Structure 1
Amino acid sequence: MSTISTPSLHIDTVLSYASDNAGHESIITRSWKRCIQDYGLDPAKPAPPRFVPRQVLREHQDHADELINVARAGVEQLYRHIAELGYVILLTDSRGITVQFLGDPLDEAAHRKTGLYLGADWSENHAGTCAVGTCIKEQLPLTCHHHDHFSAHHIALTCTAVPIFNPHGQLLAVLDISALNSPPSKDSQQFALQLVKQYARMIEDAYFLRRYREAHILCFDRSREFVLINRQYLLAIAGDGSLLAANTAARVLLAECGLQLPERPSALARRIGIQDLFDCEPEDIFSIPRASPDQVRAFRTHRQNALFFAALMEPSRTPVAPQAQRSSEEHCPLDELSDDDPAMRKMLARAKRLCSEPLNVLLNGETGTGKERLARALHDSSNRHKAPFVAINCAAMPESLIESELFGYQPGTFTGARSKGMRGLIQQADGGTLFLDEIGDMPLHLQTRLLRVLAEQEVMPLGSEKPIKVNIRVIAASHRDLRQLIERNEFREDLYYRLNGAILRLPALRERADKNYLIERIFRELCEQRQRPARIRGDAMSALLGYAWPGNIRELRNALQYALATAETDEITVNDLPEECLPSVNQRQARSSAPVQEQQTSHAREIEDCLRRQRWNVSAAARELSMSRPTLYRWMKLHNIVPPNALDS
């Protein structure tokens, strides 16, 4: 179809193609005909974008809640690939209502004007020929480029949409990327189409695995080497070998073999078994994990005699029953601090080995990462758990009171003192654990007295002439670099080495892979405190997972408390969150809050810190930073970051 230069010529072309009954019809011309003949739309009178009311949008998001949760990671990853090219992402439900949106906040006005925004209705009977609406109607991937659109209101846009199907082949959603400006040739969007197809498949298969996580999942491929990675074909299998569901690729294969799963499973429908597809028996499938060293077996289809390599994913088991059988001695409070974050898992494994050792522990991590909670979990997991856990924040207490609070005093030591004197916090922790938060803020003269306590295991209250023996374990914490404080003579080096019998580092919340677990755990704790059950809807969870959390877990807890306090119902939506957590505000702040030079300096520092953590292993650092090795090398060269061993050469 040739490029049309004006809206009037575009209108003439639409009307001409739509009235032509001869020849082969493309997806676009079929849609144009529907717009005129079925919907009564007029290309000369384009309707403005339609946005559903907030309550209606909320109902659509409720219905798509599970999908939004599953799709979040894929949508955000896709957006990182295309954002710099000027694209936005729309995830719509099966009716064409945009339930999730990602785009540049600086272009928000233009996006709203064209309908590329949250809550927009892209159904074909309203918006005319467009990527989303026509994809829904045809249930096929397509690019609707410039003058492919029915409405002259949309001819500047290029939009690429791919359908997402549920495990029974019914349309579930549409994934779309759109741009306000693009090259005139439709061929320029070929890569965009392939990219969206790839991510739509990833989302569809992730949804499939979520829905059938309690069934056996057979994943198979034509290549033995890629079957565990590619997972092109997925089948959910019941315990008797009957097929429960299939992903799109597997449904196509079943059709080629003359088999079809019912759209809505029922007791009356004929049950197709795995033996109807492959030349095997159900027990051959269920024995795959034990049948070969690589846990892969080869099977041939009946009709085509095609060879496939298969692996079996066994059902996920709920952990409730095993936990109920565990004795109280086996329960470890440290296990509650993380779900499946690699850095936390490694640190907590080390913490378990240290918890009952007679070593003082130093905790490092940014403010708000949960150092006090880790300290208490260490205490509760140790052989001191029945003795006191005493915490003091050295940064929050006035310098004039720290000495008396820590060491205590005798009666009449100073004006205003208690008549009977006071046992200090160190003495109160006798037999247990003393937690000193923000130890870097402790005055130097008190560091000297603390060093003596640690060395001699005795404390001298103010005004006393006789020391008191104590048996304490000290866990200290700081968000500051104590080595730098030592270099500036602000912290005693000998005290540092007394405190760091072991060092445990807590990662920042933005670095953690188990944010979902933390959000749900803290939210559950807050609901229990308020004695008010509530839930977090998918759009709110997406916003919480996408926010950078500069204040870490402390900020997360505050945000959830705010949402629970201000929500009108027992369901937390994105609109109930603090403003800074909202996606548009978050992106705008990321772009405009700091000057470019400051951002580059921060980026260089982040890269160098990562390289140091990884002992200058570029491959490991690149994986942590989610970039390729060549890109990391370019950044190192740009910021003049040189490995220590290179300086010696």
Structure 2
Amino acid sequence: MTFQPDPVRPATTAAADTAQPERAELIAQAHQRSASYGLRPYESPDFCPVLQSELRTRIERSQSLFTYALPVMETLYDQIVNTQSMVILTDADGLILHSLGDDDFLARADKVALRAGAEWSEARRGTNAIGTALAENRATLVHGADHFLEANQFLTCSCMTILDPYGKTVGALDVTGDQRGFHKHTMALVRMSAQMIENQLFGNAFRDMVCVRFHSRAEFLGTLVEGIVSFTPGGRFLSANRSGQFQLGLSNGALQAHTFSSLFGLSMSQLFDAVREAQAGIVQLQLPSGVKVSARVEWKSTPASVPAGGADAGRAGTPGTAIAPRGLAAGPERPAGLDDLDTGDAQIRAVITKLRKVIGKDIPVMVLGETGTGKELMARAIHADSPRHTGPFIAVNCASIPENLIESELFGYEEGAFTGARKKGGIGKMLLANGGTLFLDEIGDMPLHLQGRLLRALQERAVSPLGSNKVIHIDVSVVCATNRNLRELVANGQFREDLYYRLNGLVVRLPALRERSDLDVVAGKLLRQGQAEAAAGEPPRIKESVMELFRRYRWPGNIRQLCNLLRTARLMAEGEAEITEDHLPDDFLDDLRERQGDAAVAATHVLPGGQPTRLAEVEALAIVATVKAHQGNISAAAKALGISRNTVYRKIEEARGLTRQAG
């Protein structure tokens, strides 16, 4: 099927899909296909989802889609929560990979096998939004009696296919709800969310290439409707997103015959010349249609040179002069931003998505997480991506400074303010952070008597050094971090409630390393960073059997522990191609053996039917018991257990499988 660029329409227009004359024809054709598959309207739905092992394999095959879609699904669900609905992600075959929804509606959806592991292709489920959208490769609304199977006619479903950066369908995003609660704007939300996923997939695929983001209206740059086109440094066309194809008036297939020069009438060197002189980084370009657009040019890699002759010269290998566009050329390495922390884990990406919405908005950020999860690294990334990035980043560890010195460290002091004070006094950390970011690490350990003064300084945006009557006004952005439960400290009178709510603007939680899905990527990144510091060429590989040990380990010290372990292992493996078990520290191996022994003891649990089970199965059953104790409230159970709603749902599915085996 040839892909035709799908124009990006505002919600009010997209919502009119229900009235489009061609809908009736689309549904009629879908019903004909359903009948040709041998389905009958009165049949019961197929209740045979794939095995959990197969589902994991399918998720791994769609890892990029899964990773980028999860935070978008969370945001979409926030917009439809409590509307008797659910958000669904499928792969290209219509297999449901993940879903989020209102608890009561999820129970109803489960009765028609609308759950992870079930396939909703037309061949399996007849006419339905997921299967029909994938068959037609277009946005599709299937409402009530439009469904081929009578059992599904209580549903209303809005679905949009998701394309990879090369125009291939890789999955679908769907919102399904009770047909009595149909809302005309749902399809617009689904379209926008699907495009958000596509744009993120696009940006990830071409992060080392030249990306031109453009629109005829400058205010639309940076929004979902901007066109994005990617080129090699020599100007050869690579791909364009849906909006880019629509604005250019050409499909990806037709664009393959073009270069940057043939599309925009400039060579690559002329483009970079324009970037050098651009105001606010925006250049003016002209499309083949004659329409003038505003554009931003991105190039994250640092090339040695760009051919002077533009695209054709680059492809012919003609030597050229080095081009150093402002903001694109080699120079001092910039501090790591949020993009640098995005290593594929869905939970981390969800955190980054939330942070991007508040950066630069004067909203304090609280980063929670176990020791060693990278809270300060996240704080530095927030600063690096903020409008204050040219200002100072000042970190204060409230747990490491002696209690009698923390006040002077934070607020500064005048000469003679206390015994041992330096001549000319000292500048406090809050003043040093003026114009930048103040990072208060381990805020839960700040002495109670100083919390009131900190609150006053933040509210009044002013500090008074110890021993001084001066009031110095400051302008700082505040990021806090702790591994302690501040709510519990407030309840126990150990942390001021008013300060808690002053700092509690956006709260994000960094997952423990053992909870992350990107352990391999994180380990490889840490290994390369350590090797770069040692300036000793390529780092050794991590043997797969070692990675398997890493996956089984609990990592009580999290990323900090992994970093230290790899530093030691790299030195032990110097001159060798692989890090093996022989290069690992003895204390790590001893700890691993002890934990395996503990797990073996715990594995003696027996199911009601007398069937022995593993520790993971005991965990699943315990989580089900917690859900029952909270009268089926998934959110309350997740909060009580300290895990995500998604984990609770997954463990419930595992427990159901165990029950079927035991029965």
| TM, length-normalised to structure 2 | 0.51
Change (3 A) 1:352 1:283: closer
SS at match of 1:479: helix
Who is 2:398 aligned against?
362
Who is 2:246 aligned against?
252
Who is 2:285 aligned against?
299
SS at match of 1:182: helix
- Distance in 2 of aligned mates of 1:322 and 1:336: 26
- Distance in 2 of aligned mates of 1:84 and 1:36: 35
Q: What is the deviation of 1:345?
A: 4.7
Change (3 A) 1:484 1:112: farther
- Distance in 1 of aligned mates of 2:262 and 2:219: 25
Give 1:479's match in structure 2, choosing from 429, 444, 457.
444
- Letter matched to residue 260 of structure 2: I
Q: What is the deviation of 1:59?
A: 1.5
- Distance in 1 of aligned mates of 2:277 and 2:283: 7
SS at match of 2:160: strand
Who is 1:218 aligned against?
212
Change (3 A) 1:29 1:285: farther
Q: What is the deviation of 1:341?
A: 3.3
Who is 1:308 aligned against?
293
SS at match of 1:341: helix
Who is 2:547 aligned against?
533
Post-superposition Cα deviations, 1:45-101, rounded to whole Å, max 9, x if no partner, equal: 243344112222112101111111111211111111112112111100000001111
Q: What is the deviation of 1:189?
A: 3.2
Q: What is the deviation of 1:43?
A: 1.3
SS at match of 1:506: strand
Contact 1:341 1:514 in 2 (8 A): no
Post-superposition Cα deviations, 1:278-301, rounded to whole Å, max 9, x if no partner, equal: 232232333343132122222222
Contact 1:251 1:260 in 2 (8 A): no
- Letter matched to residue 281 of structure 1: S
Root-mean-square deviation (CA, aligned residues, Å) is 5.4
Contact 1:215 1:238 in 2 (8 A): yes
SS at match of 1:102: strand
Pairwise mapping of residues 448-467 of structure 1 onto structure 2 (< 5 A)?
A: none
Who is 1:195 aligned against?
189
Residues 1:272 and 2:297 are matched in the alignment? no
Change (3 A) 1:53 1:504: closer
Question: How many corresponding residue pairs?
Answer: 408
Change (3 A) 1:478 1:348: farther
- Distance in 2 of aligned mates of 1:516 and 1:291: 45
Q: What is the deviation of 1:576?
A: 9.4
- Distance in 2 of aligned mates of 1:533 and 1:435: 42
Pairwise mapping of residues 121-132 of structure 1 onto structure 2 (< 5 A)?
A: 121-132=119-130
Contact 2:512 2:558 in 1 (8 A): no
Change (3 A) 1:176 1:259: closer
Who is 1:164 aligned against?
162
Post-superposition Cα deviations, 1:519-576, rounded to whole Å, max 9, x if no partner, equal: 5689749999998315999xx9xxx9xxxxxx9989x99xxx99x9689xxxxxxx89
Contact 1:87 1:178 in 2 (8 A): yes
Post-superposition Cα deviations, 1:437-492, rounded to whole Å, max 9, x if no partner, equal: xxxxxxxxxxxxxxxxx9799xxxxxxxxxxxxxxxxx9977367436999xxxxx
- Distance in 2 of aligned mates of 1:176 and 1:280: 41
Who is 2:481 aligned against?
506
- Distance in 1 of aligned mates of 2:618 and 2:278: 51
Pairwise mapping of residues 74-113 of structure 1 onto structure 2 (< 5 A)?
A: 74-113=72-111
526-535 vs 85-94, which deviates more? 526-535
SS at match of 2:67: helix
- Letter matched to residue 47 of structure 1: P
- Distance in 1 of aligned mates of 2:135 and 2:173: 14
Change (3 A) 1:486 1:165: closer
| TM, length-normalised to structure 1 | 0.52
- Distance in 2 of aligned mates of 1:536 and 1:162: 38
Post-superposition Cα deviations, 1:493-531, rounded to whole Å, max 9, x if no partner, equal: xxxx99xxxx99525698348769995689749999998
- Letter matched to residue 272 of structure 1: H
Residues 1:338 and 2:376 are matched in the alignment? yes
Change (3 A) 1:229 1:576: farther
Pairwise mapping of residues 40-119 of structure 1 onto structure 2 (< 5 A)?
A: 40-119=38-117
Who is 1:136 aligned against?
134
Contact 1:43 1:152 in 2 (8 A): yes
- Distance in 2 of aligned mates of 1:136 and 1:535: 40
Post-superposition Cα deviations, 1:118-166, rounded to whole Å, max 9, x if no partner, equal: 1111011110000000000001101111100000010001111001111
Structure 2: gaps spanning 5 or more residues: 1-21, 304-329, 336-371, 405-417, 422-439, 453-465, 468-477, 485-505, 528-540, 563-591, 601-615, 641-663
- Distance in 1 of aligned mates of 2:199 and 2:550: 24
Give 1:590's match in structure 2, choosing from 624, 635, 658.
635
Q: What is the deviation of 1:235?
A: 0.8
Contact 1:242 1:271 in 2 (8 A): no
Post-superposition Cα deviations, 1:382-427, rounded to whole Å, max 9, x if no partner, equal: xxxxxxxxxxxxxxxxxxxxxxxxxxxxxxxxxxxxxxxxxxxxxx
Contact 1:339 1:514 in 2 (8 A): no
SS at match of 1:218: strand
- Letter matched to residue 78 of structure 1: L
Contact 1:92 1:174 in 2 (8 A): yes
Residues 1:240 and 2:234 are matched in the alignment? yes
Contact 2:375 2:481 in 1 (8 A): no
Q: What is the deviation of 1:588?
A: 3.7
Post-superposition Cα deviations, 1:238-278, rounded to whole Å, max 9, x if no partner, equal: 01111111111223344x3587358xxxxxxx652022222
- Distance in 1 of aligned mates of 2:451 and 2:131: 65
Who is 1:28 aligned against?
27
SS at match of 1:195: helix
Change (3 A) 1:514 1:315: farther
- Letter matched to residue 338 of structure 1: E
Pairwise mapping of residues 623-638 of structure 1 onto structure 2 (< 5 A)?
A: none
- Distance in 2 of aligned mates of 1:577 and 1:216: 51
SS at match of 1:84: coil
Contact 1:435 1:476 in 2 (8 A): no
Who is 1:547 aligned against?
none
Structure 1: gaps spanning 5 or more residues: 1-22, 263-269, 327-333, 356-360, 364-374, 379-433, 437-453, 458-474, 488-496, 545-550, 568-574, 596-649
Contact 2:373 2:512 in 1 (8 A): no
SS at match of 1:260: helix
Contact 1:49 1:127 in 2 (8 A): no
Contact 1:241 1:273 in 2 (8 A): yes
- Letter matched to residue 239 of structure 1: P
Who is 1:465 aligned against?
none
Contact 1:128 1:151 in 2 (8 A): yes
Contact 2:443 2:481 in 1 (8 A): no
Change (3 A) 1:477 1:35: closer
